């Protein structure tokens, strides 16, 4: 494999980082010697459907929602429509692949908790499957009842709660106007020791309070915050006005990460997603590992494409209402053969396997092709990856928690907690994952955070890393 090191100058110091092995050091030779001595391998995650043991189902249960966020792509693109109560069960029965070991089922929307009967029916069926490890996920706006939350908790759901910041009844963001209700939900989840994280979309409305918001989440007991910039569907003025300037976004995002480091709050974002899971593709859109099943019958490889009415029909690969289980993914080379190597703009970028080319949908909207990176996001990710490597080095030197590896750390725990497990191993707390603060010239990040390279949990969490741009 080509040279995999990312080298960065920080003052008089040069930092060399190898995302393929998780080694960071001052010397290239020291890294090579360590890799050789410890029999480590530099491997790249490449879609391989024939040998993959993970199968993912993302069910868009409804395009309806009880909130109307001004940045939401779902309610602005789609007619209000819900999937049938038994449809997810029928889809799973028809499409479940016998050889797969891990099954991941994600309930999405709209607001999926509006269709709790469908969720309960699906979970009831999944309980009958005894020869696979099943993982349940849901993305919700946090306004659901305690009874419904209890059902999710009792079945070991990973619950992603959307929170757009501090309570503000005058905000243009719906989720800030109902933030008191979302706060009640978060407190309930903390009290019940639930597996949950926060998902925040950053616009010009909430960027400038992001550092204070991080403190707010931490005060509530949040363990992981997944923060992403707003993704305009097109170039309409009403949409673009919500997108922060690159300078403002970088300034306040970095300030927020400073606060997260001070408060030991784990953080995830697209720029950090592949720091230890380098890949030649970015997300579900470039692999057949996860498929999105929409209420109108369409099957998509991108969770943002939720109907035949979507402007980006390029990602629609089939129709689940038809009798055949075959879809067109492998017959659509623009998707099935897409890798970072197809992106000429990225050929000489040292961050390409960490960035992996970025969101295909966003590239299509703003670059005109899935192979042309969106310039806004490209600039932001390059700077944040550069900053992340410096933060890794400084954090290891100081013996502080590697909070920017939040997704990597969090998924290691989630992988130990499949649905319906009799015994829970949910042990994530503020005292874990602190590195040994002995100052050295080389650090093995896996050893520093106590994650075994050969662990089956790590292998699984790496495979689903690219489903979490949601």
CA 460 to mean position of chain CA atoms? 14
**Percentage of the residues of the chain whose pLDDT score is greater than 70:** 85
Q: Give the model's confidence band at 165: pLDDT under 50 very low, under 70 low, under 90 confident, else very high.
A: confident
- pLDDT tens string 353-406: 998 888 888 888 888 888 888 899 999 999 999 999 999 999 998 888 899 998
Q: Within 13 Å and on the Cβ side, how many CA atoms surround 443?
A: 27
Q: Specify whether the CB–CB gap between 64 and 112 falls below 8 A.
A: no
CATH node for 41-436+451-470: 3.20.20.70
Tell me which DSSP letter residue 178 carries.
Answer: T
Q: What residues contact residue 47 under an 8 Å CB cut-off, 6+ apart?
A: 281, 286, 287, 288, 289, 336
User: Strand pairing partners for 293?
Assistant: 59, 299
Q: Is pLDDT of 49 > 70? A: no
Q: Mean of the pLDDT values across residues 280-308?
A: 84
User: Strand pairing partners for 137?
Assistant: 106, 158
Mean pLDDT of the chain: 86
Q: Is pLDDT of 8 > 80? A: yes
- pLDDT tens string 110-139: 899 999 999 999 999 999 998 899 999 999
- What is the distance between the alpha carbons of residues 332 and 309, in angstroms, rounded to a whole number? 19
Q: Give the model's confidence band at 1: pLDDT under 50 very low, under 70 low, under 90 confident, else very high.
A: very low
pLDDT value of position 459: 72
3-state secondary structure of 229: strand
Q: Is pLDDT of 152 > 90? A: yes
CA 262 to mean position of chain CA atoms? 23
Q: Specify whether the CB–CB gap between 189 and 161 falls below 8 A.
A: yes
- pLDDT tens string 418-469: 888 776 655 555 555 566 666 789 999 988 888 887 777 777 776 676 655 5
User: Strand pairing partners for 58?
Assistant: 106, 292
| Predicted TM-score of the model (pTM) | 0.91
């Amino acid at each position: 494999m080509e040279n995999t090191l990312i080298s960065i100058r920080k003052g008089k110091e040069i930092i060399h980082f190898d995302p393929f092995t998780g080694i960071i050091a001052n010397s290239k030779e020291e890294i090579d010697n360590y890799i050789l001595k410890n029999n480590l391998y530099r491997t790249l995650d490449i879609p391989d459907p024939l040998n993959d043991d993970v199968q993912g189902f993302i069910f868009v249960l409804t395009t309806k929602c009880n909130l109307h966020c001004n940045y939401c792509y779902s309610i602005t693109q789609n007619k209000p429509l819900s999937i049938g109560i038994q449809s997810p069960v029928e889809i799973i029965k028809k499409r479940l692949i016998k050889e797969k070991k891990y099954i991941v089922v994600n309930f999405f929307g709209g607001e999926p908790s509006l269709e709790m009967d469908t969720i309960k029916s699906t979970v009831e069926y999944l309980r009958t499957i005894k020869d696979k490890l099943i993982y349940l996920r849901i993305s919700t706006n946090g306004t659901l009842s305690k009874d419904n939350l209890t059902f999710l908790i009792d079945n070991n759901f990973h619950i992603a709660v959307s929170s757009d910041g501090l309570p503000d009844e005058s905000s243009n963001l719906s989720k800030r106007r109902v933030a008191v209700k979302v706060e009640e939900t978060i407190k309930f989840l903390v009290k019940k020791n639930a597996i949950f994280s926060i998902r925040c979309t950053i616009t010009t409305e909430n960027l400038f309070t992001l550092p204070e918001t991080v403190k707010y989440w931490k005060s509530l007991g949040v363990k992981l915050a997944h923060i992403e910039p707003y993704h305009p569907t097109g170039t309409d003025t009403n949409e673009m006005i919500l997108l922060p300037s690159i300078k403002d976004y970088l300034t306040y995002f970095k300030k927020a990460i400073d606060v997260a480091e001070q408060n030991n709050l784990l953080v995830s974002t697209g720029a950090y997603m592949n720091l230890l899971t380098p890949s030649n593709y970015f997300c579900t859109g470039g692999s057949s590992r996860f498929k999105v099943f929409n209420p109108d019958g369409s099957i998509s490889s991108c969770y943002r494409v939720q109907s035949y009415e979507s402007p980006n029909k390029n990602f629609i690969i089939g129709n689940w209402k038809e009798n055949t289980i075959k879809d067109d993914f492998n017959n659509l080379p623009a998707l099935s053969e897409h890798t970072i190597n197809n992106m000429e703009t990225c050929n000489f970028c040292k961050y390409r396997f960490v960035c992996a080319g970025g969101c295909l949908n966003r590239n299509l909207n703003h670059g005109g092709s899935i192979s042309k990176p969106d310039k806004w996001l490209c600039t932001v990710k390059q700077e944040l990856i550069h900053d992340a490597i410096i933060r890794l080095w400084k954090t290891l030197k100081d013996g502080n928690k590697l909070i920017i590896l939040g997704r990597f750390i969090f998924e290691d725990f989630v992988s130990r907690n499949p649905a319906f497990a009799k015994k829970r191993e949910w042990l994530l707390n503020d005292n874990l994952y602190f590195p040994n603060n002995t100052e050295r010239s080389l650090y093995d990040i896996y050893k520093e955070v106590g994650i075994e390279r050969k662990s089956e949990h790590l292998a699984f969490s790496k495979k689903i890393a690219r489903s979490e741009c949601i």
